[in-house]
Amino acid sequence: MPVLFNFDHNYSDRRYMVNKILPALMSSSVQRLLFVGCKEYTARYGRRLTRAGVDYWTTDIDPAAAIGGEKDHHIVCDITKINQVCPAESFDAVLLNGVLGHGVDEESVMNRALTAIAHILRPNGILLIGWNSEKKHPNPIELDGVTMNFRQGCPLLLPARKTFADTDHVYDWLIKTSAAVTDTTTQEISGHFYG
């Protein structure tokens, strides 16, 4: 069945991802990136980033979401346990877009996810949280998982917070602080993850 419309361009937040965020990442010093939460329309993100030399990985808790994941670089995993399958400080950037409030809903689970992500980010690693402000969940910036592990900021010459007039979607950039604790307990991902 043919796709009747391009999901990337129907919403201003997705246009911003494609036209601003991805190019900023491609021209940055980011070498290894993890994209959390895969859909078929996000599969194109990896092609763009890998062409720019980024070691692009994806993860989703749903095995069926692998169709939108990166071939041979996709991890089926609960994001709260990503630190159990990825080595500590192994990623330069993590994009957590559309996950908080869309599967990771409870505050305690959000905190566990953010803490697990902090473990796999390198010092001064960057985290992008894309979330919907009209959902009935806390502002991610105020969560303990953020305040204990990150500071708000964006080293990519993009605003630290981006909002949109036509949607309640918000992008918040965070930088891992030196106070963040790293866990060295890791299992290998199907025998092919190299830290």
Q: Among candidates 127, 91, 74, 95, which has minimal Cα distance to 14?
A: 95
Give the mean model confidence (pLDDT) for residues 137-153: 92
pLDDT of residue 110: 85
Lowest mean pLDDT among 34-43, 47-56, 73-82, 153-162: 34-43
Query: Predicted confidence band at 9 (pLDDT cuts at 50, 70, 90)?
Result: low
Q: Among candidates 132, 125, 178, which has minimal Cα distance to 11?
A: 132
Residue 42 belongs to a domain: yes
Q: What is the CATH number of the domain that holds 134?
A: 3.40.50.150
Residue 61 belongs to a domain: yes
Residue 114 belongs to a domain: yes
Confidence check: pLDDT of 90 > 70: yes
pLDDT of residue 99: 76
Residue 147 belongs to a domain: yes
Range of the domain at 33: 7-176
Q: Among candidates 108, 157, 148, 101, which has minimal Cα distance to 129?
A: 101
| 38's tokens | 């895969």
- Which residue is it, tokens 């949280």? 129
Confidence check: pLDDT of 3 > 50: no
Residue 13 belongs to a domain: yes
CB atoms within 10 A of CB 62: 11
Q: How far is CA 162 from CA 12, 25, 143, 153, 170, in A?
A: 11, 16, 18, 12, 6
Residue 121 belongs to a domain: yes
Residue 184 belongs to a domain: no
Tens-digit pLDDT profile for residues 156-193 = 999 999 999 999 899 999 999 986 655 444 444 444 44
Tens-digit pLDDT profile for residues 52-67 = 999 999 999 999 998 8
Q: Cα dihedral sign for 99, 114, 130, 155?
A: negative
Residue 116 belongs to a domain: yes
Residues in contact with 6: Cβ distance below 8 Å, sequence separation at least 6, in sequence order: 41
Check if the beta carbon of residue 145 is closer than 8 Å to that of residue 113.
yes
Tens-digit pLDDT profile for residues 110-130 = 899 999 999 999 999 999 998
pLDDT of residue 15: 94
Please count the structural domains in the chain.
1
pTM (2 decimals)? 0.87
